[in-house]
Structure 1
Amino acid sequence: MAACTARQIHAIISGTLGAAERWDWISSNTARIARRPKQKPPEPDPPTSAEAAKLAEEAFRMDDDWGTLVLLVMTTGMRRGELVGLRFSCIDFDAELIDLRRNWVGGKEKDTKTHQNRRIALDTETVVLLKEQRDRAVQRVRALGRRFTDDLFVFSGTRTPSHSEPYSPNAVTQRYKDMATRLGIDTHLHALRHYSATELLSAGIDLRTVAGRLGHGGGGATTLRVDAAWVAATDRKAAESLVRACRNEIGKKSKS
């Protein structure tokens, strides 16, 4: 078994025995002394800025719906289930933000992964793209003789022009993987979430804001542990900044 599978099984057994211990069915929870496999530290590997640009360009070349979807993940860091479960009613075009409340998992609409609502601010370019996406959806729905409502899904794929059903999560993942493979880029859809986190942190955005956009709790600890990749360019800038500070201090002392 993989280490993560063994850890999951241990959690189930430990929880069950813990309940039995509380109910005085057993004298002790023996799962406490079991040695779990060590959890492998996450190694986020987001695409570079150049690779992200190629991916976005190729996505729009394929079709505007797909390009908008890919760019939205890049700019917001939304999870796959949040992305496909997004409805037009969740987009405030005037305030330029997304009010994220739902998640699409296992063919059903559920709460977000952390069971918390969050609001994600959008840039002007993304808002324009989403307005164009809405216009396309309106045209498709009316062409079918139906009435458009804001409760329809933003992304639904070519098989559901009525936008009454979300884009299949697995189909999104596979299409993105196929696109990246054609471009010779070794990446996957979730890596765009890493990309969003890393780019924001590298740009100097504070950790709490980045964590809020990604839907992470714990004051940003999860963001740093899981989604923020080490960026060589940023690390180099930090080193150069320290060197400049040291040189300035040395220069002051030599003048005095």
Structure 2
Amino acid sequence: MSSGPEDRAATPIEAVVFDKDGTLFDFHATWSTWAGEIIRDLAGGVPAREAALAREMAFDLEAGRFRAESPIVACTHREATRIVAKGLGREATEDLETYLAMTASRIPQVEAVPLGALLDGLKARGLRLGVMTNDTEEGAWAHLGGADVADRFDFVAGFDSGHGAKPDPDPLLAFARAVGVAPARVAMVGDSLHDLHSGRAAGMRTVGVLTGTATRGELAPHADVVLPDIGHLPAWLDR
């Protein structure tokens, strides 16, 4: 017999796995800035090329922001490379993938909330913490290290870590196995439907946050709760 919402709510949380972009870090403040820079760089000052890249990436050049429907928001780094290559009118190459990875790893990350204090508070509760991102694992470690919080996590994985990518549940189940916590006692926290679908499929609690591109209305049907940002997570855990 499957458990209902009341049963899940009564199950204590022992571990939390976070998405990275749009969850730990504010999506637009970080990735819209990056996208604008690479579009200008790759287009080489040719307006038609800028327009073609922006169209494929669903990026609003005038506003300097990704549109909510952008495939870049939740896709893997490799899928993003194919999208950018299509905007350039050529095939994806290893050189292009490397260029995108290098520029992404160097971009300053804007924390959604002060991460050090939040993560220390969660660890003080005895929670095991992890990150699962559709970015590369190397990029994840670089961004967490840049925010000086890499040592707070028991598990960090990217799409290339050998566990698969969201929305599949496998990478989240890999986290649960790594920390020895049953999936029902894990909360998956993310800003996209990919995150929430992955968490639900893994049998975890799902927590949506509004620091990405999705709206409350889009996330709510797939989440146990939708919070403004991860700073509200301790209060939700208390409830």
Asked if Structure 1 and Structure 2 have the same fold, meaning a TM-score greater than 0.5 normalized by the shorter chain, the answer is no
TM-score, normalization: structure 2?
0.22
Higher relative contact order (CA 8 A, sep 6+): 2
TM-score, normalization: structure 1?
0.21
Higher-Rg member (1/2): 1
Higher helix share: 1
